[in-house]
C-alpha cells in the first residue's frame, strides 16, 4: 500500500509520494503506470519527497517515466504542503537542479526561487556551440536552461499555434540532445505575456513553472519585457521575477486529494 497526494498548480497536475514514510522505491515503470489517465491516476509529473540536507529532497518523473531535474509548479505545491505541515514560512529544498528556497508569499500564494537560468549552449544543453538568444531554427527561438531545457518561440498570437503538432516537432529537434520543453508566447502588454507550453515527455499542459521562468528570461534577454513579468497560461497566471539571486516564481497551488495505491495496482505496474 502506498499513500499519495494529488495536487496541481494552475491545472499542471501532479501525483506526490512522500517516500520518507515508505520503503517502496519508485521506478520509471511505476511512474509511467501511475501516469496513465485510464489505468492509473494520471499526472503531468510525479514528484517524490525524500529526506535531504534541507527540509526535503524532491525528485521528478515525467508521464513517460523519464526524469526531470526541475518542476516549478510541483515544487510550489509541495512547498505549500510542507509549510502547512511544519508551520514554517520559508523552506530549503534540494533537487537535482540544485538548492531551492520557497517562501509563503501571502494570500495563499507560494514563491520559489528556481535558481539562475542556464544561458550557455553547453549548460542547457545544446548539441553544439551557438548563440542561445536566437537559434538557427525557423522562427529564431531562444534556448534557456532551468534545470531542464527550453525552446521559446515568440509569435504574433500563441492561440493560433497548433501546439499538439508544433510541440513534438521541436521537442525532438537535433539541437536538443535531451529533448526540450517548447513554449509559444506573445506580448499582451508591458511586462505581460500569454504563453502556452508543450512539455517533453508529457505533451500539452495547462501550465508549466519552469517554462514560465524560461519564457520570462528569454523575453527579458530579447528586450521584449523587463525582468518582472506576468504570464497568463491556459490554467491561470504566474508572476515571474528574474532577480540577482535567481528566477522567482509566484502563484497559487491546490491540494486536491489524498489517497492510497492498492497492492494489486502496484504489483500490476511493477512487472
- The reported pLDDT for the residue numbered 53 is 85
Percent of all residues in the chain with a pLDDT value above 70, rounded to a whole number: 100
Residue recorded with cell 502496484: 266
**Dist CA 134 CA 53 (whole Å):** 38
Whether residue 96 has pLDDT greater than 80: yes
| pLDDT score for 37 | 94
Q: What is the pLDDT of residue 21?
A: 77
Domain boundaries, the chain: 2-113+253-269, 142-244
Say whether pLDDT at 52 is over 90.
no
Residue 271 reports pLDDT greater than 70: no
> Cα dihedral angle (148, 266, 259, 108), rounded to 10 degrees?
0
| Angstrom distances, CA of residue 101 to CA of 81, 86, 157, 176 | 14, 15, 34, 28
Q: Fold identical between 2-113+253-269 and 142-244?
A: yes
Percentage above 90 pLDDT, the chain: 92
208-262 pLDDT, tens per residue? Answer: 999 999 999 999 999 999 999 999 999 999 999 999 999 999 999 999 999 999 9
Residue 20 CA from chain centroid, whole number: 22
Supply the pLDDT for residue 157. 98
> Which pLDDT belongs to residue 93?
96
Q: Read off the pLDDT of each residue in 150-177 and give the average, rounded to a whole number.
A: 97
pLDDT digits (tens, 9 = 90+) for 114-158: 999 999 999 999 999 999 999 999 999 999 999 999 999 999 999
The correct CATH number of 2-113+253-269 out of 3.40.50.970, 3.10.310.10, 3.30.200.20, 3.40.50.12160 is 3.10.310.10
What is the average pLDDT score of the chain?
95
Are 74 and 60 within 8 A, CB to CB? yes
| Number of residues that this document lists for the chain | 271
Q: Which CATH architecture has domain 142-244?
A: Roll (3.10)
Mean pLDDT score, 94-102: 92
Amino acid at each position: 500500500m502506498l499513500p499519495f497526494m494529488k495536487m496541481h498548480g494552475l491545472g499542471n497536475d501532479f501525483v506526490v509520494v512522500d517516500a520518507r514514510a515508505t520503503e517502496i522505491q519508485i521506478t520509471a515503470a511505476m511512474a509511467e503506470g501511475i501516469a496513465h489517465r485510464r489505468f492509473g491516476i494520471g499526472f503531468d509529473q510525479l514528484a517524490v519527497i525524500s529526506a535531504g540536507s534541507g527540509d526535503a529532497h524532491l525528485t521528478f518523473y515525467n508521464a513517460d517515466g523519464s526524469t526531470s531535474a526541475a518542476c516549478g509548479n510541483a515544487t510550489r505545491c509541495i512547498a505549500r504542503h510542507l509549510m502547512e505541515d511544519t508551520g514554517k514560512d520559508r523552506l530549503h529544498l534540494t533537487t537535482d537542479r540544485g538548492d531551492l528556497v520557497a517562501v509563503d508569499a501571502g494570500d495563499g500564494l507560494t514563491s520559489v526561487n528556481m535558481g539562475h537560468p542556464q544561458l550557455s549552449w553547453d549548460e542547457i544543453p545544446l548539441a553544439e556551440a551557438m548563440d542561445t538568444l536566437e537559434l538557427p531554427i525557423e522562427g529564431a527561438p531562444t534556448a534557456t536552461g532551468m534545470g531542464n531545457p527550453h525552446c521559446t518561440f515568440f509569435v504574433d498570437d500563441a492561440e493560433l499555434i497548433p501546439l499538439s503538432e508544433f510541440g513534438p516537432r521541436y521537442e525532438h529537434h537535433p539541437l536538443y540532445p535531451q529533448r526540450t520543453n517548447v513554449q509559444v508566447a506573445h506580448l499582451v502588454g508591458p511586462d505581460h505575456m500569454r504563453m502556452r507550453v508543450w512539455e517533453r515527455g508529457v505533451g500539452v499542459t495547462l501550465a508549466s513553472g519552469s517554462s514560465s521562468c524560461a519564457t520570462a528570461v528569454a523575453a527579458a534577454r530579447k528586450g521584449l519585457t523587463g525582468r518582472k513579468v506576468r504570464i497568463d497560461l491556459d490554467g491561470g497566471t504566474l508572476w515571474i521575477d528574474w532577480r540577482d539571486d535567481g528566477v522567482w516564481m509566484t502563484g497559487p497551488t491546490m491540494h486536491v486529494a489524498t489517497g492510497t495505491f492498492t497492492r494489486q495496482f502496484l504489483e500490476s505496474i511493477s512487472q
